[in-house]
Amino acid sequence: MAAPRRKIKVMSLTDAAAARVRDIVENAAKPLAGLRVGVKNGGCAGMSYTMEMAEAANPTDEIVEDKGVTVLIDPKAILFLLGTEMDYQTTKLSSGFVFNNPNQTSACGCGESVAITPASPELAGLQA
């Protein structure tokens, strides 16, 4: 009998990202299950990251629990986000979530969209 295949974590969070997610969830007007992260087509580079408050997990969401917070991953985004580190950065002019994605191949000049090559399903442990 073969050893069970270890499932790769889709995404990890920095301490700053976890603190910001925790702050958003704890201060929401309604109880939240976490934040849902995904990707969508659009922008000059081809894709952009999406985030929304999630009151409940969808049955097909990938659930990432890291540093005491929950992030839900849209199933269509898993191969695009595999190995990504989510950070939260504050500068003099802006603050927001930043995705350090090893699958990202380029970004537009305005920073609003990216080109992402999906990881192989075998790497993700999604196929036997």
What is the C-alpha separation between 64 and 73, in angstroms, rounded? 7
The predicted pLDDT at position 118 comes to 64
Structure confidence at residue 102 (pLDDT):
85
Predicted confidence at residue 79, as pLDDT, reads: 87
Statement: residue 54 has pLDDT above 90: yes
More confident residue, 125 or 48: 48
Average pLDDT over residues 113-118: 60
Chain centre distance of CA 22: 15
pLDDT grade for 127, boundaries at 50, 70 and 90? very low
Cα separation, 67 vs 53, in Å, equals 18
Burial class (CB in 10 A: 0-12, 13-18, 19+), 98: middle
Could you give the 3-state DSSP secondary structure of residue 6? coil
The pLDDT value recorded for residue 120 is 63
pLDDT of residue 128: 40
Query: Which pLDDT band, with edges at 50, 70 and 90, does 76 fall under?
Result: very high
Distance between CA atoms of residues 71 and 91, nearest Å? 24
Number of residues assigned to the chain: 128
> CA-to-CA distance for 63 and 9, rounded, in angstroms?
10
Q: Are 35 and 88 in contact (CB under 8 A)?
A: no
Range 11-124 classified under CATH 2.60.300.12 = yes
